[in-house]
Every structure is written in structure tokens, then in C-alpha cells.
Structure 1
Amino acid sequence: MAGSDSMSSAGNLPVEQTSFVGRRREIGDIKRLLRHNRLVTVTGGPGVGKTRLAQRAAGQLRRRFTDGVRLVELAALADGRFLARAIGDAVGMPGESRTAAPEALAWFLADKNLLLILDNCEHLVDLCACLATDLLRAAPQVRILATSRQALRVTGEWLVELAPLPVPQEEQPPAHDDAVRLFAERAAIALPGFAITDDNRTKVAGICRRLDGIPLAIELAAVRVRAMPVEAILTRLEEHSLEVLGAGAQVAMPRLQTLRAAIDWSFHLCSAPEQRLWARASVFSGGFDLDDAEQVCSGAGIESMDVFALVDGLLDKSVLTRTTSEGVSRYRMLEAIREYGAQHLARSGEATAVRTRHRDHFAEVARQAEHQFLSPGEVEGFDLLQRDYANVRAALEFCLSEPGQADSGLRIAGSLRHYWTMSVRHREGRYWLDRALTLNPEPSPARAKALWIDGWTALLLAEWDAGLSRIDQCLTLAEHLDDEPARAHTVMLRGIHAFFCDDLHCAVTFFEDALARLRALDDRADVWMTLRYLTYATALLGDADRSLAFGEQSLEVAETAAAPLTRARSLGLYGIAQWLIGDRERAIELVRERLRVSPYIDGWGIAHCLEVLAWDAGERDPERAARLLGCAHAIWRFTAAPLTQRHLAAGHRLCEQRARAALGDETFGKAFEEGTRLPIDQAVTYALADPR
């Protein structure tokens, strides 16, 4: 199912796109150290191959970790506030906890047996060090393999200092050293048929010596065999001046000078349009596709129709790397190359203009995803936003830190509410909304929208005072602006607050008022949302007829819109309502269908469905019931606000009591614990495999 990022035993290591050369001793060192130690950090300069080495060694250790190997790519993470969330996403933690994110992550990993790769820690080194210490203390079977330009400097850390590849010494006959072999293999990709011969061996060895054996520099040089013979490559390298790199700290780091010289040489061998694209593409965070490049990088010297050829040219020159998933190609730069491009962009005077185009493009991605909600394309919109979320974050940060851009930040934040809800990022949503609201105090419909969304997320986090404050502010502003959509949403939020506080009669009154207002505005998305709450609230009040009517209307709205994810969410809640009013067969049919048609998005809804399936299993298979309760508990623990669980409390208690009585505390506890260990995809598979 698209949109899933659940944890599986296989892990999430990327497929290697090119051959891996050398490093047998270093791989052996990493594997040996990880067998006996819990934190190993691979250090070394940029371009030396830390990431590839860590992934290669981890791949060979995969079978030793029952919960897999999980890669956390940190290069695109600019804000350390989201470090724990980034790790949580990588390991399949379902949502965010109401507790502090590092504490929740430690709790989630406490019983996991996995290897965690923290890649590119250098810009977050202190935060990575603190979090690694906490995780290792809380999770005895977790091991961490970090890559960084500097050590984390925490107790128990073992270092593998990665040097460049060995190169042939000038006074020795050229041999098949790893650096030479790397050049040969990459050159053969660029120019099929290329091989090391007696005629070119000495020159290739000279290239590798000139580049100090730095893998990235060698790869950049190797692709040049398509345009010139190795003799010419060596001559160009020997003639290339290092003065363009400046002095200062770099003088004390000759290998860094060498890498930057190689990158600089590669840059100057690019055409002027390729250079512009390289610099402009450095604004992307976490990768981009061809459409992104056309929208952000074209203009002022680059025609949109030429972007494909320029991207292809940079790909051929190893400036860009490409991955393909489900038929979609995405491009990215290694961090050293991206940093170089960013420096050129800053010197070009184009940085603000390019970042503004980047902001506008990903604002449109967020806006389209919002409008795709309750439509046939809503899953695709969610998946696109999921893939580009690092870029959306970068756009938000630009808006909220660059003078004169705050209004755009408010609008982007306001368009992300469905994504934040379905991906359970309520706490992060509040972070961006609060910043945007602080910077935009002027009355506007965009501020009114952000106020009620912020109030909504606060209620979902059980932050009652903050939620009510935002509702009041929104209502005052709505009256000032005569903003009927904002008025309608404040009424809906009053109903949500009453619902969560168990004042169900009051909640229904508010919801019915909001429903009439939203229908008059033709706001189908929030008509659907209000119908869901009415389905649930009237079921809890025992009003079966009205609950069934509201549930059917909710389902009809989703089916009329041909919206697959919204329909799935309607099925789940409608099924729970059916259980509460006594139609258990229909309830089980609905919740199972919900899990089949859209299993992994909306963890909160999944937890509800697993609860009901546990209750159903309770009378005939108590061990299964206990395991399903554990599955649900693992998700409840990490969905920001398991508030509606209070409305399920009676069924939960009865199911647990019966299962404990039938199994005994020890067997119940073991089965429950097994359920908590299942990743969300495996929990859904287990639930759907019910022999019933």
C-alpha cells in the first residue's frame, strides 16, 4: 500500500546502484566492533565513503538483528527538534507520543533487536550524542552505527577512522589497488569497454594519487573518460590550481582541499547551464524529481525544456545520483557536492530568488495535497507530500526566517492539516502553526484558518487550554472579518472539545450546528469530518438509528467522491459505531474491510479497528485477543492523542478481564507483549488472518 513506512525485519537499506570496491578490512572492523559494542562511529572527511561503508557493513549484519537494520538519513534534517521524529519514522514508530519525542522513541525501541544507522551526524552532533546515549540506555538490544565527520564523543563509542583508498606509490609499479579499481569500474560505466591496460595503468595510478584516493573525487574524474583520454584527465588535474578554494582552515586539511579541488574542476568542466542547475538544485532537501527541477531551477539562463538534458548531464558526471521507485526517478546530491553548489548559489546573487521558487513550488505541492483530500487522488497526494516533506519543511523554514515571507509560511502551514493528521504529526503541526501565527498577527482569513487548525491540533493533543484559547481567538477574528468558514469551524471544534470531555449531548448539538453551516458552505471535507463525529457520539449515546444514518452519510460522502482513503476511514469508524450499538457481525465486516483497503495510513484509526477485533476474538480465542490488544496498545502509545480510547474503555476492560481469566496473568502478559512488538504492517496482517 502506498504511504506505508512501517518497520519490517528486512529493514530499509537502499539497493546499491553501483559496485562496492575495497574496504574489506574496515568492514571487518565494523562487524567485529558491533558484535561486542553498542555504538560505533565511522569518521572521516567528506567524500571518503562513510555512508556506503556503513550501509555495506550493516547489510552483512542484517541477519543478526531480528528487527532489521534501519537507516536514518540526517543530511536533509536542518532542525534538530525533529531528530527523534526522523528516527521514529525510520524505525516504524506509529505516530508521535504525547510524551517527549526522545522518551517515546526510547520506549518504542526498548524491546527491539535492531541496528540503527545514523548517517551524516556532523551538523547535529551534540543532539545525536545525547539521543544515542538515551536510546542505548533504554534499549539493551539496539546497536548504533553512526557516520560523521567528527566523533560523537560519548561513553562507550568506538571509532573507525576511514582513510581514503590506498593508491599506488609513485616509486612502485602500478597495481590493481582499490583506488585504481574504483576508477576503472566507474569509467567503464561512463564509457563501456574501458579497461585498465599496460598503456594507461600508470596514468590512472597518477590520477588516483593526485586525488589522494578520495572515492568521490575519483568517481568525478572517472566519468570524464567519456570526453577525454586518461592522459588529458591527469594533465588537467596537475594544472588545476587550488587557489580558488581559499585558505584559512582548509590549509590544515589537504585532503579536503583535494576533494574540493576535484569538485571545483568537475564544476568548471560543466557547461554554464549545467553549473547553474547544479547551484540551484542545492536548495532541494532530501531529493527531487524532474518536475521539481523544472519548476525550481529553470529561468534566467535555463529553459524549462532543457532541464531534462541538464539533469541527465549532471547524472552522467556523477554530480547527481538517481533512485527509482514505483516508476518515479528521484535525484539527489552527495552532501559535499550539495554544499559546493550552495556556496556557488550564494555567490551568484540568485539564492533568494531560487529559494523563493522552491518555496512557491512546494507550497503548491502542499496546496494540491490539501485539495486532493476527499478525491480519487488523495493517496497519491499524501504519498507525494510524504516524499517531499523535507522540502516542505525547508520551504516553511525559509518563510519563517526570511524577512517578508511569513505570510506564505502561514498559508503553507494551513494547507498541511490533513497530512499532519493522517501521518500523526500533530505536535510538529503545532510547532509550525505557532511560529507562523506569531509572525502574522494581522487579521486575515489565512490567520483565521491557521487559528482553528492550531486549536484542532491542540485538542487532539489534549492541550485543552491552548485549544480553547485558539478557538476563542478564531471566533473573535471571524466576527471581525465576517468569515463564515472560520465561524463554522469554531462550532465544530466546540463539539470536538465537548466530545473529548464526555459531554456527548452538548457535542451532538455543536456538531449538528456545524454540519448545517458546513453544508451551506459546500465544505465537503469537514462535512465528512463532522458526520464521523456524529456517528460516534450518537452511538455512544445509544441512539442507534441516528448513528446508522450519520454513518451511512459519512460513507456516502466518501464514495461519491471516489476517495479511497477517506472511505477506508469511514468504514473503520462506522464499524466501531456498529459494535457500540450491538451489530457485531456488521462491525467486524466493516473494520476488516477498512484494514484491507487502506491498511497503514492513519494509525489512530487502525488502533480502533484492532481494538474491536480483539473484543471479537475475546470469547473464542483469548490468546489472540491478548495479542491484538497488544498490537493496539503499541499504536495507542504512539498516536499523539489516544483520546477516544476513553470511549472504548468498557469494551477494552471486559476483553482484558476475560482473556486474563482464561489464560492466567503470565500467558496473557506474554501474548500481549508479543502483540506490542509487531510493526504496524505485521499487526494488520495478523488481524486480517483471523480464521473467523
Structure 2
Amino acid sequence: MRTAATGRLVGNLPTELTSFIGRERELAEVKRLLGVGRLVTLTGVGGVGKTRLALHVATDARRAFPDGVWLVDLAASEAPKSPVRLVAETLGLRNVQDPAGLAGRLAGKRMLLVLDNCEHLIDECAALVGDLLCLTADVRILATSRQLLRANGEFVLEVPPLPVPELDEASADTVLLYAAVRLFSERASAVVPEFAVCAANAAAVTRLCHRLDGLPLAIEFAALRMRALSVEQIADRVDQMFQLLRSDSPVAPPRQKTLYGLIDWSYHLCSVEERTLWARLSVFSGVCDLETAEQVCDDGILTDAVLDATAGLVEKSILGREANGSRTRYRMLEALRRYGHDRLVESGEEQAVRRRHRDWYRNLAEQAGAEWFGPGQGEWLDRMAGEEAEWAAVLEFCLNEPGEERTGLEMAAALWSHPLSFSSLGDGHRWLQRALAADPSPSAARARALWADAWLYLRSGDLPAAAPLLEECRALAERLGDQAQLAGVIQLTGLAAVLEEDFPRAYALLSRALAHYRATGDHGRSWTTLLQLATAAVFMGDARSTALCRECDEMCESAGARWSRREAHWITGLDLWRRGDARAATSVIRQALRPPRVPVDHLGLAHCVEALGWIAADQDRHEYAAELLGAAEALWRSAGASLPKIGPVAHAHTDCETGLRRTLGQDAFAAAHARGGRLTPEQAIARARDEEPAASETADGALTGVAAVLTRREREIAELVARGFSNKDIASALVIAQRTAEGHVGRILYKMGFTSRTQVAAAWAAQYGSR
């Protein structure tokens, strides 16, 4: 073995032939771990860039190891060799028989060993590094493996895919801040020199990187296809990723010449139970937890083995693990899911597993419908929003599989028949209308779906769209003798009368519906009808309004339904305002804005912020009122709706806006309204509570300082970082995946030129103050 007596750098690290892109956080963390421990293992799915990261760190660290930095590729040899033999051959050592013997030869050496691709020799590698750590003092080991070595003293860093843009961030300037896009851009320009990410192709590049989950090797394979295809064509064909993504490099190992071969390598390292579970988990489009996996994937073959197989797939980097409150969830990258799906089809089990998947989510939808008005409202919101991809997958299966249409109709009706509907109103309409078209036969499910679709339209104030749905629902319910839906038609006809400002008729109809729901013990619909009844009473100045508002609030408190209480506070505040107590009204409505996390229910928020704008205008706080109207309008849009064009809310809004335009003047009103419209939901809450928004603005509405370089979502996250939120906390607060939160934080660091969250917090607090 060579020594460092001459002062030359010693080792066998290859020269980097292409630029290293991104990974600022991971680079810093690996270097930190190597400083505190002697064994660092980089884990992650095949193709995620473990080897490239390890080599980059090792290259930077060469001067710290006078006896060399040595790369040992444990998968390079076609004939299997022991790790001891491969290390000895790399170092030029002879007559080394076992780990202890190797350790003896390395005693007194100060070197770094990079053990690459340990996963297929995991037990032998664990034994080797164990002896090296025990019998030497200054040998450090940087290992890459798709699963842990489980050696004493092991520090582990999971290497994630590269951050990718959100699909709605597809501007050329914005997407190039993401490492996945920069990687594609650079590798594609090496193939087609004139290629550059621009306004014309930014959306296609974003879509491609998104579909490839930011997996570096897949992105590099896609860039190679630029020789024959445009980026738009590659993005369009990514569904055939295993045929599309390959390399013809003569020096690449066979397992790295195709994306399929790379994943197949991992598959054959799995146990029989792990392979079976991998295939069955491919029916999940997004995330799942252990309970769900057990119900969907176990048909008796995997009895009592799902937990162990799940743990094994996590250890082998097939499943990503993310925390969500008290539940741990698992996610599979798209390429791994597609490979698993191919295996599932080969097994002949696909239809059986998809039906178990359907049954689980159908039961979950019905349970949500039965329990939404209760203490678990927050958990149901999180669960339904967090598994939106699964609801969509099940509905697609039902609406495209002959014989499953009725189940799809039942699920769509269950999902959108209560106020905790997790998606925008527009998405709800699209699914309900597809389901209604797929199963036009008369049924109780159809009546319920018609009712749900009408309910969504009325929630956004669209009476003309709701009217024919209600009429068809009424006729069908009468034909079927469905008393529940007949009561529902009466309820929604009463709500329509509120929107038409025919308050006496609304009061009579809603009273009838409420009596039916109370008699049948339907607490959820009782409360929504009571809220609508209180609304009618408040706007017609009925003396019974105060008692009805109090009853709305008491029902929420008794049931523990804190999310529904926002609406109760809204109508109570309006009642107090109309009775002349603006201060009490403001206090009550602001109570609805107290939850510590950004709520999913932007419609409820819009109502509250709008009402506070009316009250502020009455108190001659004209610019503030205009800002709140702008913020409310943005919240309406984010929910897929718009301010109702008819009804008492629209009239109150029009009266308020007209008065503000007259008092402030057109230009001043427009500027204040625009400032409110740029606020994020959390900033809108702060402003509605009469606190300063998180991001300061100039008089003309331009963002300043830190906020000026960040997108709206990044400003929202930067404020949470400043408040001490971890990535896990941010993911929970904003109902996004933890990996997405990590990507946003990484981009904030990059844009602001920082290397730590502490710097972000300090800069934010310095400019905008602590919140």
C-alpha cells in the first residue's frame, strides 16, 4: 500500500467528469457525521445518488487522511468476492484472510474507506466494519447501501431524491432554483448544446422531474433521450419509463444501464414476503400506514408478516417513511411503484388487491361521513387531505372497471356530503358528475350523490347550478321512498331560499328539515341545518337569532367539533354586529382564527375574514377593511370557489366595497385590496386578527427584504421556521409530505444564501419581528 510520505494525495478516487448539483444540506451533514463518528452509512433507493454524494464528500476530505481515501466498489466484480478480499486488493495488501487480519494491517493508518454498494453483502460488510472500528483507531468508513449495516457506532443519513418544483411553479426563473431541474438542464445541454430551460418548456421540464420524483439517475437517463425527443415528448412518454429510461454507456455496470435493471437489483435482495408486499403496495398511489397495508395487502399469505416485511422494505429503501402526527406513513417512489405493479400483474393478484384497496377506502369514506361532526374533526381533515391520491385512485378504479360504478357513486357521495370535504369545490363537482354519469340508474346512492353535488354548489352560492340537481334528487327520493334524502332536499331548498334572501320561507323549510334530523339522530346534518337556520334568522333580524347562534356553538362544544365551531363563531359574530356590538363581534369571529396550524377549510376562513372586513369598515378602518376583503377573495379562490354572486353575503360585500371605494378612492382601495390578496392563508389569519402580516411590504405593495426573494409558499414556510417549527411540524401544519417540506426549506436556504435554519430564523425575526 502506498503511503503519504511525499505529501501527495493518496487513494484511488475517480475524477468527477460532470458537475455536482445540489445536496448542500446532505454534504454538510455527511461532513458533520464523519467528524463525530467513524462509520457513516448513506442509505437510499437505487439511483438516488448515494455513490456520487459519497465520492464528492471523500474528494473534499482527502487532505485530512494522509494514508489515503480509497473507493471499494463491492458490486463491481462479476464473480462474487468477500468485502475483506476486495478491500485488500484495492489497497494492494496480500495474504489477508479475515477482517481481523485486515484490521491488523491497517492499525496506525489514518485513512477513509468508501465502501460502495454494500447491500448485497450486508452481513459480511457489517462484520468487516465492526472489526475495523474495534481494532483500528484512525480508519473511518463512509458506506453506501440500500439498507443499514446495523454495526455498532453506525451513523446513518438517508439520501432523498432531489427537490422538485410544484406543478404550479413552472416559470423558468423559479424552477431553475430546484436541483432536479438544474440536473436535467445541465445533462440535457450536454446532449443538445442549444437546450436551455425557458418559458416555453418550463412546464414540461417540471412535469418530467415531478413524475420521476427527483430521482437523479432517472433524470439523467431522461436527459439522454433528448438526442431523439423533445422534453415535451419525453414527459408525455414517461409512463413507459422502463422502456424509455436507459443508457448505452459501455462503461456503466449492467444494473445501471436501465432503470428497470437498477430496481430489479433491489428486488432480488428482498425476501419472498418483502417482494410480495412490494407488489401489493403498488396499488397505493400516495401514502399508506401500517393498518391500511395490513388490511389491503394481507390475504392470509402474509398473516403476521406485514409488519416485518414493511420494516424490511423501509430498511432496503424501497419504502420511504414519514411521520404524520401519531401515525407513521409509508411512501413509494413512482419508479418503484411501477416496477411493483408489473410484478403484481405477473402474479395474477391485481384485481383482488385492488378490490381490497377499494373496500378499505369505501369503509373509510363512510366512517368519515358518520364521524365528521365530533372530536376527531382535525384528524379526519388530516387523513382525508393526506390521502387524496388514494381517494382518486379508488374512484378511478371504480369508474373505469365494469361493475364497480355503483361503488364509485357511493364513495363520491360519502366523500362530498359533509363540510369536511378535503378538496376544492371544483374537484368535488368533477368527481360527482363523473360518478353520476357512470351509473345513471335510479338508486339511493344516486339520490345521495345528487344531493352532495347540489350542496357543493350552494356552498359557493351557485343556485342556478344546484336547482336541477335538487329537483332530480327530490323526484328520485320520492320514487324510492328515501326519507333521509327528502329531508335533505328540504334542507337545501331552505339554504337556497337564504341565498335568494327569502328568509321567512328559508326559516320554515330549515325548521322542517331540522326536526327530521333530530328525530333520526343525525347530529351532523342537524348542526349544518341549525347553522343555516341561524343564518336566516340573523339576516332577517329575527329575535330568535341569538338563541339559535348560542345553540350552534353549544352543539359544537358538546360534540368536541372545534372545526365546525368556526362557522358558529362567524354567525354569532354577525349577530352581535347587527345588534350594534362591533367590539364583541370582532372578538368572537377572531376566536375562529385561533387554531395553531393553517386550516384546510379555506371557505370557513373566507367567511370569517370577509365579515371582519365589514366590521372594520363600520369602524372607519377603511384601508384595513379593504385588505381583509382582498384576503377573503384570495381564500375563496384557493378553495376553488368565488364570492357568492347572490344572497346576503354578496350584498353585504357589495355595500362594504362600494363604501370603501367612495371613501378611499379607486386607487387607494385597489392597492389595499391587492395587498390583502397577496397574503398566504396564515398571513391572512394574522392580518384578520389585527397583527402584522409575516412579510412586510412597501407602500406600493412590493415585497421587501427576505420575502422579496421567496415565493408565497416559501414565505409561509420561512415564517414557520422562524417560529421554531421542524420539517415534521411544517409538514403537519401545511398538510404536505415531510419530503416536500424539506425541499422547500432547502430552496429557502439556497435563495437566501444560508446554510442553517438558525440563519433563516434570525433574518426573518430581524426584519419582521418574532411572532
> Into which bin does the TM-score normalised by the smaller protein fall?
0.5 to 0.7
Judge conservation of contact 2:603–2:635 (CA < 8 Å) in 1: yes
Q: 1:302 maps to which residue?
A: 302
Shift of 1:495: 1.2
Q: Which amino acid aligns with 1:319?
A: I
Change (3 A) 1:609 1:24: farther
Q: Which amino acid aligns with 1:479?
A: E
Overall identity of the aligned pairs, in %: 36
Structure 2 unmatched ranges of 5 or more: 1-14, 25-44, 53-161, 182-197, 223-239, 693-771
Q: Note the aligned Cα RMSD (angstroms).
A: 4.1
Q: 2:684 maps to which residue?
A: 683
Secondary structure at the counterpart of residue 318 of structure 2: coil
Judge conservation of contact 1:613–1:687 (CA < 8 Å) in 2: yes
Rounded Cα–Cα distance in structure 1 between residues aligned with 2:656 and 2:463: 30
Change (3 A) 1:374 1:321: same
Secondary structure at the counterpart of residue 404 of structure 1: coil
Judge conservation of contact 1:116–1:144 (CA < 8 Å) in 2: no
Judge conservation of contact 2:497–2:506 (CA < 8 Å) in 1: yes
Structure 1 unmatched ranges of 5 or more: 1-20, 31-45, 54-68, 75-86, 92-105, 121-134, 153-159, 166-244
Q: Which amino acid aligns with 2:274?
A: E
Shift of 1:380: 0.5
Rounded Cα–Cα distance in structure 2 between residues aligned with 1:651 and 1:630: 15
Rounded Cα–Cα distance in structure 2 between residues aligned with 1:70 and 1:492: 48
Secondary structure at the counterpart of residue 323 of structure 1: strand
Judge conservation of contact 1:576–1:608 (CA < 8 Å) in 2: no
Change (3 A) 1:660 1:466: closer
Judge conservation of contact 1:274–1:314 (CA < 8 Å) in 2: yes
1:162-181 superposed Cα distances (whole Å, 9 cap, x missing partner): 5479xxxxxxxxxxxxxxxx
Rounded Cα–Cα distance in structure 1 between residues aligned with 2:447 and 2:437: 13
Rounded Cα–Cα distance in structure 2 between residues aligned with 1:251 and 1:326: 39
Q: 2:381 maps to which residue?
A: 382
Rounded Cα–Cα distance in structure 2 between residues aligned with 1:454 and 1:52: 52
Judge conservation of contact 1:632–1:676 (CA < 8 Å) in 2: yes
Rounded Cα–Cα distance in structure 2 between residues aligned with 1:271 and 1:666: 69
Q: 1:148 maps to which residue?
A: 208
Shift of 1:555: 1.6
Shift of 1:567: 1.8
Rounded Cα–Cα distance in structure 2 between residues aligned with 1:473 and 1:116: 51
Q: 2:125 maps to which residue?
A: none
Q: 2:701 maps to which residue?
A: none
Secondary structure at the counterpart of residue 206 of structure 2: strand
Rounded Cα–Cα distance in structure 1 between residues aligned with 2:648 and 2:248: 63
Judge conservation of contact 1:400–1:409 (CA < 8 Å) in 2: yes
Change (3 A) 1:531 1:381: same
Change (3 A) 1:645 1:117: farther
- TM-score in terms of structure 1 length: 0.64
Secondary structure at the counterpart of residue 27 of structure 1: coil
Structure 1 position 673 matched with structure 2 position 674? yes
Shift of 1:590: 1.4
Shift of 1:558: 1.5
Q: 1:27 maps to which residue?
A: 21
Structure 1 position 282 matched with structure 2 position 282? yes
Judge conservation of contact 2:245–2:259 (CA < 8 Å) in 1: no
The structure, 1 or 2, with the larger RCO (C-alpha pairs under 8 Å, 6+ apart) is 1
Q: 2:766 maps to which residue?
A: none
Shift of 1:690: 4.9
Judge conservation of contact 2:412–2:432 (CA < 8 Å) in 1: yes
Shift of 1:528: 1.0
Out of 250-259 and 597-606, give the one that drifted further. 250-259
Shift of 1:355: 0.7
Q: 1:625 maps to which residue?
A: 625
Structure 1 position 569 matched with structure 2 position 567? yes
Structure showing greater radius of gyration is 2
Secondary structure at the counterpart of residue 269 of structure 1: coil
Change (3 A) 1:444 1:302: same
Q: 2:593 maps to which residue?
A: 595
Corresponding pairs, count? 502
Rounded Cα–Cα distance in structure 1 between residues aligned with 2:633 and 2:210: 39
Shift of 1:633: 2.3
Structure 1 position 437 matched with structure 2 position 431? no
> What is the correspondence of 1:196-235 to structure 2 with a 5 Å cutoff?
none
Q: Which amino acid aligns with 1:499?
A: V
1:412-453 superposed Cα distances (whole Å, 9 cap, x missing partner): 111112567654522222222222223333333222211211
Secondary structure at the counterpart of residue 288 of structure 2: coil
Rounded Cα–Cα distance in structure 1 between residues aligned with 2:610 and 2:50: 41
Rounded Cα–Cα distance in structure 2 between residues aligned with 1:71 and 1:248: 23
Secondary structure at the counterpart of residue 331 of structure 1: strand
Structure 1 position 406 matched with structure 2 position 405? yes
Rounded Cα–Cα distance in structure 1 between residues aligned with 2:620 and 2:199: 40
Counterpart among 580, 583, 594 of residue 582 in structure 1: 580
Change (3 A) 1:530 1:482: same
Q: 2:230 maps to which residue?
A: none
Q: 2:488 maps to which residue?
A: 489
Rounded Cα–Cα distance in structure 2 between residues aligned with 1:512 and 1:612: 25
Rounded Cα–Cα distance in structure 2 between residues aligned with 1:498 and 1:118: 54
Q: Which amino acid aligns with 1:626?
A: A
Rounded Cα–Cα distance in structure 2 between residues aligned with 1:617 and 1:645: 22
- TM-score in terms of structure 2 length: 0.58
Judge conservation of contact 1:610–1:632 (CA < 8 Å) in 2: yes
Q: 1:467 maps to which residue?
A: 466
Rounded Cα–Cα distance in structure 2 between residues aligned with 1:655 and 1:248: 60
Q: 2:72 maps to which residue?
A: none
Shift of 1:646: 4.6
